Amino acid sequence: MTTLTAFAMDTYMTVSVRGIDSFEAAKAAGELIEEYDSLFSVSGSGSDIAAINSAAGEPVNISSETLRQITASIEVSGRSGGAFDITVEPLADAWGFSGGSEYRIPSDLEISQLLDKVDYSRIQISGNTLSIPDDMKISLGATAKGYTSDALVALFGSYRVDGAVISLGGNVQTFGTKKDGSEWIIAIQDPNDPERYTGTVSVSETAVVTSGNYQRYFESGGKRYGHIIDPATGYPVQNGLLSATVICHSGLLSDCLSTALFVLGEEGAKSYYETYGGFDMILITSDGRIIVTSGIAGSYTQEKNSPYILEVF
């Protein structure tokens, strides 16, 4: 087993690879992560996103990697009624959750003005060129890790690799099998105590992605403000959900959906699941419940002495 560790895309990453070509595959994975970190960053000379945001409304030629993320994002945005929106970047920046800005609480007036700059439907795509109005900005912070884990899975397919676990912050994706042929066991963090976990889910080759406001946040006046912004209000999400985990074949789709479902809240997430399907989810609520969809109910094992009540949806 060869393990690669890195800090990229504003998070710590670990990639563990098993197989004859494990060293070579891990080395190639590190190079790909470095390349994508530059390409998808909101700053830097080699960044598609920086080029789009500084183009003053002019069309920009972008890579196919960036285009696929934005196209997937727009689809989830439409299906979720705008709960997921990559143009929320100006608000994230105003709250201090982007690019090293200091944490602060924007005024109601500032938020109202910035909300006018949030609208995924104003992204214009023609072939491999993209443009946004000159007062808007985008970020791939909610898609880049999922896209990267998909790319790493594809990469490992070209090496003699038997199994791998890709952990990019709250994104986990598996490749191949464990050494004994059994399923992978993925722990689900307890958002009330991130040093612990609420339970585990056993999976084959798939992605398990969690979104929540319990890791990146600041506190002011005894109140916690998390990094996931509701595009409808301009404020950090506070809707009774502590975390939303999505399990499906695609890291990119899981990344988009976990954020969308977290913003939608419990009832909105259930409605989305019933309407579109194609994934499973685990929702953890502030009133002490863990909601698991029926497709993975048999694969989820709750931690002993867990304070949460398990529900199957």
CATH number of the domain that 122 lies in?
1.10.3980.10
How far is CA 261 from each of CA 55, 148, 216, 304, rounded to the nearest angstrom?
A: 31, 21, 18, 27
- Say yes or no: 154 and 21 in one domain: yes
pLDDT at 99 over 80: no
* pLDDT score of 45: 83
> Residue 92 is part of which domain span?
49-131
- Say yes or no: 165 and 119 in one domain: no
pLDDT at 54 over 70: yes
- Say yes or no: 192 and 294 in one domain: yes
- Say yes or no: 75 and 158 in one domain: no
Answer whether residue 219 is part of any domain. Answer: yes
289: β partners: 309
Mean pLDDT along residues 289-309: 95
Mean pLDDT along residues 280-302: 97
* pLDDT score of 46: 87
Neighbours of 16 (CB within 10 A): 16
DSSP E strands: which ranges in 58-183?
Answer: 60-61, 124-126, 129-131, 163-168, 171-176
- Say yes or no: 155 and 36 in one domain: yes
Answer whether residue 191 is part of any domain. Answer: yes
* pLDDT score of 98: 86
Backbone angles phi, psi at 72, to 5 degrees: -65, -40
**Position 100 confidence tier, pLDDT thresholds 50, 70, 90:** low
H or E, element range at 76 = helix 64-79
* pLDDT score of 305: 86
Query: How many domains, in total, are found in the chain?
Result: 3
Answer whether residue 275 is part of any domain. Answer: yes
Give dist(CA 244, CA 58) in Å, integer: 36
pLDDT at 44 over 90: no
Answer whether residue 162 is part of any domain. Answer: yes
Give dist(CA 24, CA 122) in Å, integer: 43
- Say yes or no: 240 and 158 in one domain: no
What pLDDT, in 10s, does the model give residues 157-196?
Answer: 999 999 999 999 889 999 999 999 999 999 999 999 988 9
SS3 state of residue 256: helix
What's the CATH code of the domain at 164?
A: 3.10.520.10
pTM > 0.85: yes
Domain boundary among 99, 131, 163: 131
Residue 277: name the closest of 251, 246, 308, 235 by CA.
246
* pLDDT score of 101: 75
- Say yes or no: 95 and 204 in one domain: no
- Say yes or no: 224 and 307 in one domain: yes
Residues 28, 152 contacting (CB under 8 angstroms): no
Answer whether residue 136 is part of any domain. Answer: no
